[in-house]
Amino acid sequence: MATKTVRLNWNPEEEFTLYAHDDYKVVMKPKGVSASDLLPMALAGCSSHDIVSILKKQKLDLRELKASVTATQDDDPPWRFRKIHIHYTAVGSGIDPEKLNKAILLSQEKYCSVYVTLRDAVEISYDYEVTEG
């Protein structure tokens, strides 16, 4: 079983900095991203990484993958996430939309740890499109 450690450092200038297990730095608000934005960002990043990997293994001419995430949270503390919707756009030549959909489903069902962790706690939906380019 893999174990990863991430770190956070706060300094007197009210800057929160997160460090991934490989020391990659993410700056949080007030100068960077909000903590709650990290959750949908993690979901988009995890699933998109899987989708790109799957489509490349199929030797599809994928030139770009975009993901736009809309997250709905409660208005009052603790601002629980209720819904997360991801819209994927695959850009390339001759990409079969069904293969894109199958890659998304494989990510959700088999590979994306963030999706698997969230799926019982948050309503997650998606749609997709393929554009030539």
Q: How much is the average pLDDT of 5-27?
A: 91
Tokens of 62: 């994928």
Query: Which of 8-22, 73-87, 105-119 bottoms out in mean pLDDT, i.e. has the lowest?
Result: 8-22
Is the alpha carbon torsion for 75, 77, 79, 82 positive or negative? Answer: negative
The CATH fold assigned to 35-132 is GMP Synthetase; Chain A, domain 3 (3.30.300)
Task: Give yes or no for a cis peptide into 30 (omega within 30° of 0).
Answer: yes
The amino acid at 28: M
pLDDT given at position 77: 97
Q: What is the pLDDT of residues 67-104, one digit of tens each?
A: 999 999 999 999 999 999 999 999 999 999 999 999 99
Which class for 111: exposed (0-12), middle (13-18), buried (19 or more C-beta within 10 A)? middle
pTM of the model: 0.92
Q: What is the pLDDT of residues 26-76, one digit of tens each?
A: 999 888 999 999 999 999 999 999 999 999 999 999 999 999 999 999 999
pLDDT given at position 12: 83
Statement: residue 110 has pLDDT above 90: yes
**Where does the chain hold its CATH 3.30.300.20 domain(s)?**
35-132
Model confidence band, residue 13 (pLDDT cutoffs 50, 70, 90): confident
Residue where the block lists tokens 């959700």: 108
pLDDT given at position 133: 87
